[in-house]
Amino acid sequence: MATEPIFSLQINADEFAPPGISGDLWAVQQKPGATEEDTRLSLTDTAERDFEVKCSFSRDTGLSHDITAQTALEFGTSFFEVPEGTNPGWFESGGLRYEVVLNAQREIGGMRSYIRARSIAEARRMFSNGITPVLDLLAYVANAPLTVSSPSCHDQNHLTWVFAYTSPYRTKIVNPGQAVAFSELAPVYALYREGKNASSPFYRFLCYYKILEGIFHELRPRLFGRAKDVGVQITRVKELIPEDSELRLLSPELVGRSVKDYVDNVLQKRFRDAVAHFVLNTGRIVSPSDHEAVAEFSNVIHVTELCCRTVVDQHERYLSQLGAAADTPRAPDKP
């Protein structure tokens, strides 16, 4: 089995999106004598040309401090083995031919295809549309999980590589001895951790949305009801989507918008219904293997998490107000 060269580079973590956010890493090799204008034109070229597109497999979705843009499919792992003496070879799907690549244990480590397309985006889309139905079927037939990386792409004409990545988390200093959890927010904290641990943007979004739904429709009314029953006046605050450097760069119009308005009119109608129902009123079926659907949900994860943290933080402050008022001795009634 031939060993593929490993492509690696070092980049300052501050240049990436916030932790947990997915994006694309572009690497361009300039030819001798090429100018910046030549490079810019090559990135916008729409002429049909050759692309190598591939994806690696994994058995798990473990989180890491590092960004891995794996190009060597032999490092991939899966629960799918190919018997000794059997050549996995190639198969066809969606009008494309795919090569099955094995690791040293004869597990399928990944797949590749050579595609004629007019852009990296088109090549990746064609690759995903052809391969995902096959991978979904394999997972069903084998009754086993399969984690697949977003497709990496090599523009062979312009010497450009594109890798999908997820920004890594950094180690934080915590003090468990000083942590005080509000008991009624236990399901909220659990959903938040579940969302953080998830790799699927659909499931991650659902966890964050359930937090917002739970606080707005259940916990918040109960809190104000208890406050009214004991005669405590809670100082209400309108929750707004906070200032954030990433959001300011990509969607500045969302900064300062009412969280409740955004949840009701955008997240619920466009995203929550899509992930909760098999078929929408429009007739659309949103598939977790649909590359465009994955991108759509990935793009809304960061602002949804900002909304979540804003609402949870404010609810904690409301609970603190209620608790402080309940601990304050009341003045005796006048005779």
pLDDT digits (tens, 9 = 90+) for 174-191: 888 777 789 999 999 999
CA gap 269, 290 in Å, rounded: 19
Segment 29-49 mean pLDDT: 84
For 111, which DSSP code?
E
State whether residue 327 is helix, strand or coil: helix
Q: How many CB atoms lie within 10 A of CB 163?
A: 21
Segment 198-212 mean pLDDT: 90
Most confident of 78-87, 251-260, 318-327: 251-260
At 302-312, the pLDDT tens digits run 999 999 999 99
How far, in Å, are 40, 65, 272, 282 from residue 218 at the CA level?
52, 37, 18, 30
At 62-117, the pLDDT tens digits run 655 555 555 678 888 999 998 887 788 899 999 999 999 999 899 999 999 999 99
Instruction: Look at residue 298 in the predicted model and tell me its pLDDT.
Output: 84
pTM of the model: 0.79
The answer to whether 103 and 68 have CB atoms below 8 angstroms apart is no
